[in-house]
Chains A and B, each alone.
Chain A
Amino acid sequence: QKEVEQDPGPLSVPEGAIVSLNCTYSNSAFQYFMWYRQYSRKGPELLMYTYSSGNKEDGRFTAQVDKSSKYISLFIRDSQPSDSATYLCAMTKAAGNKLTFGGGTRVLVKP
């Protein structure tokens, strides 16, 4: 079993819809949680960064962490075709530690 599970998709939504993404994990030692966006043939780009449980909002993006359920989510409001990409969740235990990534969810926003 992988440490971090993420549905590979693809997830297809119409423009303007809310995109809902999530990851589950097994290691309770993870404390720092991130979402990266990766366009095809490009490097990952950090979108959201959260420490421990709670919500964080940045523009159209909201990240949620529920450590008791070992479950993290990313919501994208008012989705745009430019949001079409692969979204990777990542997490780590402490400063300097390696990131453990989910396999990524491919999202397609149709105009």
Chain B
Amino acid sequence: NAGVMQNPRHLVRRRGQEARLRCSPMKGHSHVYWYRQLPEEGLKFMVYLQKENIIDESGMPKERFSAEFPKEGPSILRIQQVVRGDSAAYFCASSLTRNTGELFFGEGSRLTVL
């Protein structure tokens, strides 16, 4: 079952460290989206990438956060100098085309900042 694969599933970091979250989209999908879910809140859009290009990063914090989706390999969401407020579940989703909401989500990466 080649669904959206995210790793690590759980990540613990101390304040000031870096967190790297990886996402392999479904086979054949070239559109990747990252969402963040804070406790008791819905998902918030962060960034939309298509192979080697950032299409929409309007939901990304201006500092410390970056994302990439290289030609080869998984998409990476990178958080530098993590703070406690970065503790959340980060979900990756993929789609076959630039469509209108039919996204396939991974199981998420849960980041805890101590």
User: A residues within 8 Å of B by Cβ?
Assistant: 4, 6, 8, 31-34, 36, 41-46, 49, 51, 88, 90-92, 94-104
Contact with A along B51-66 (1 / 0, CB 8 A): 0000110110000000
Contact with A along B23-46 (1 / 0, CB 8 A): 000000001010100001111110
Give the residue name and chain of the B residue nearest to A94 (CB). B100
Q: How many positions in chain B have a CB within 8 Å of any CB in the partner chain? A: 28
Partner of A100, one of B41, B45, B55, B107: B45
- Is B107 within 8 A of A99, CB to CB? no
Contact flag A88-B42 (CB < 8 Å), given A43-B91, A98-B48, A98-B59: yes
Give the residue name and chain of the B residue nearest to A32 (CB). B100
Task: Enumerate chain B residues within 8 angstroms of A51, measured Cβ to Cβ.
Answer: 100
- Is B42 within 8 A of A104, CB to CB? yes
Task: Enumerate chain B residues within 8 angstroms of A102, measured Cβ to Cβ.
Answer: 42
Task: Enumerate chain B residues within 8 angstroms of A97, measured Cβ to Cβ.
Answer: 56, 100
- Is B44 within 8 A of A49, CB to CB? no
* Complex CA distance for A88 and B99, rounded to whole angstroms: 19
Contact flag A90-B107 (CB < 8 Å), given A98-B58, A102-B42: no
**Nearest CB in chain B: distance from A61 CB, A:** 16
Contact flag A44-B40 (CB < 8 Å), given A34-B101, A98-B58, A99-B101: no
- Is B42 within 8 A of A101, CB to CB? yes
- Is B42 within 8 A of A6, CB to CB? yes
Task: Enumerate chain B residues within 8 angstroms of A46, measured Cβ to Cβ.
Answer: 101-104
Give the residue name and chain of the B residue nearest to A90 (CB). B101
- Of all A-B residue pairs in the complex, the 8 with the closest CB atoms, nearest first, are A43-B105, A98-B45, A101-B42, A96-B98, A32-B100, A103-B42, A101-B43, A34-B101
